[in-house]
Amino acid sequence: MNRPNQIETKRLILRPLNQNDFEVFTNIIKDDEVLNNLEFVLKIKPIKNIKSLFLTVIDSLNSKNSILVLIVINKEDGNRIGSCGLKVLKDYNGAECFYTLLPKHRGFGFAIEAMKKLIEYAFKELKLARIITFIQPTNSRSWKVAERIGMKYLGHKQIRNTSSKAMYFSIEKAEFEAQWDY
pLDDT given for residue 41 in this prediction: 46
Report DSSP state, residue 7: E
Spatial contact of 15 and 3, defined as CB atoms under 8 Å apart: no
- Dist. CA 62–CA 59, nearest whole Å: 6
Q: Is residue 74 part of a domain?
A: yes
pLDDT given for residue 35 in this prediction: 67
Find the length of the chain: 182
Q: Each residue of 98-113: pLDDT tens digit?
A: 999 999 999 999 999 9
Q: Is residue 57 part of a domain?
A: yes
| Average pLDDT of span 68-97 | 92
Q: What is the mean pLDDT of the chain?
A: 86
CATH, residue 56 = 3.40.630.30
Percent pLDDT > 90 in the chain is 57
pLDDT given for residue 43 in this prediction: 46
Whether residue 164 has pLDDT greater than 80:
no
- Dist. CA 42–CA 129, nearest whole Å: 24
Whether residue 44 has pLDDT greater than 90:
no
Whether residue 146 has pLDDT greater than 90:
yes
| Average pLDDT of span 81-91 | 89
Q: Give the pLDDT band (50/70/90) at residue 50.
A: confident
Q: Is residue 158 part of a domain?
A: yes
What total number of domains does the chain contain? 1
Q: Is residue 2 part of a domain?
A: no
Q: Is residue 1 part of a domain?
A: no
Q: Is residue 85 part of a domain?
A: yes
Q: Which amino acid is at 161?
A: N
Q: Which amino acid is at 170?
A: S
Q: Is residue 55 part of a domain?
A: yes
> 76 is in which domain, residue-wise?
7-179
Q: Give the pLDDT band (50/70/90) at residue 89.
A: confident
Q: Is residue 120 part of a domain?
A: yes
